[in-house]
Structure 1
């Protein structure tokens, strides 16, 4: 049986950047675990904020954390209060100065993680998985995607035997390296167990002149939020 390569890992170093950008031979394992702890802490503190990804860059004595979110108001808080709280928490965690940046995802329907999270939330509210998938596909295509594929697996509808169902619309060229494909795996927690959700979104081809902007999963879908950057 053929297996599919991870769409993001397949493009790392060519058209997709790493979410953690640093190099340290001596403390590599420690810093990898620290990155995981940073992402976990942010997700736990900002539950419901629509956080798609967290980028981490490390300098000699500081750490720059960039949060990509669909709801920057929740992340920033009144007068930037929550930003200050989270920055302090991360500085206690890393023992280094932390610069915290917030970037707004202006088109959540073009972000694979947020689309998957939306489907998972609907399934957890006992909405039909087929209805949730069709709605997500329709909204993503209306937002300007070239194609989308959604696969769900588990005890769908509470059935005794687990199965896998997939739906797609448009084109999703997984073998084309220049194809800008966003991909995410999300889990829905139901009374009968976990349901896995995979989402592939094809946003178009990355041309050489736009290669420098390939760091954004949805080219023009994210922008910095004024006053949200912390020093």
Structure 2
């Protein structure tokens, strides 16, 4: 089970928090669900998810959005577009909007994934890049696994390259496993990258 299901979904409500925090009756459910999806699409279209760690969407009498960043410079870039974003979202839900910016300094699977992707090209050794980036950050987690699959380095036959540091206890629900999957298009085809990070000192977001 631990290896056949998304580790985030497997731990929802246990060691992983929900990011869509709202409840509604049958009449309002479709409207809130549509708004939730559209808000995430707006962020993806305008700011890209690689600049944002997580987004909490809380819908009640008003709309509250918590945006998690890892770098202060990204927050400063985001503030420039905040007014136009509020106007666009308010047209969807017609509610007052509160947006909170939250700075997180801990590394997560998403950050590590994009650090590796920014260096991958068809002429470089993928495994060497993965190992170099993981070893830079070994003090920030207890275990890490990165797997890249596809036509690596432009070869004709697709294969997988992976690197494991420490342990990744996927079957234990109480353990905090951070997971991220992303696909990148290259001139030889699509490369898929999966990243697992295990941290023992887990703290629930509030």
Q: Give structure 2 stretches of 5+ with no counterpart.
A: none
Q: Is the 8 A contact 2:144 2:167 kept in 1?
A: yes
- Please say if 1:93 is aligned against 2:89: no
Partner of 1:171: 167
Gaps of 5+ in 1: 207-212, 217-231
Q: TM-score, normalised by structure 1?
A: 0.78
- Alignment match, 1:44: 45
Cα drift, residue 53 of structure 1: 1.5
Q: Is the 8 A contact 1:75 1:83 kept in 2?
A: no
Which residue pairs with 1:129 in the alignment?
A: 126
Number of aligned residues? 205
Deviations 1:168-194 (A, max 9, x none): 001111111221111111122211122
Residue 16 of structure 1 aligns to a residue whose secondary structure is coil
TM-score, normalising length from structure 2?
0.87
Deviation at 1:98, TM superposition (A): 1.4
1:69 aligned partner? 69
Contact 1:17 1:214 in 2 (8 A): yes
Conserved? CA contact 2:68–2:102, under 8 Å: yes
Deviations 1:60-96 (A, max 9, x none): 2x11111111234333449x43323322222223322
Q: CA deviation at 1:56?
A: 0.5
Q: Secondary structure at the match of 2:144?
A: strand
Quote the residue 1:83 is aligned against.
82
**Residue of 194, 215, 218 corresponding to 2:205:** 215
Contact 1:124–1:189 (Cα < 8 Å) also in 2: no
Q: Does 1:32 align with 2:33?
A: yes
1:28 deviates by: 2.6
Corresponding position of 1:14:
14
Q: What is the CA–CA distance in structure 2 between the aligned matches of 1:139 and 1:12, rounded to whole Å?
A: 29
Q: Are the aligned partners of 1:76 and 1:82 in contact in 2 as well (CA < 8 Å)?
A: no
Quick check: 1:112 aligned with 2:102?
no
Does the Cα contact within 8 Å between 1:124 and 1:188 map onto a contact in 2? no
The change in CA–CA distance for 1:48 and 1:183 in structure 2 (over 3 A counts) is closer
The superposition leaves residues 129-158 of structure 1 with CA deviations (integer Å, 9 ceiling, x where unpaired) of 22321122112313x210100111111112
Query: In 2 relative to 1, CA 124–23 (structure 1 residues): closer, same or farther, beyond 3 Å?
Result: farther
Structure 1 CA distance for aligned equivalents of residues 82 and 166 of structure 2:
39
Q: For 1:31-79, what per-residue CA distance to the aligned partner results, in whole angstroms no more than 9, with x for missing partners? A: 323222211211332248621221111112x11111111234333449x
1:145 matches 2:135:
no
Q: Answer whether contact 2:71 2:105 (CA < 8 A) is retained.
A: no
Q: 1:63 & 1:37 partners in 2: Cα distance?
A: 13
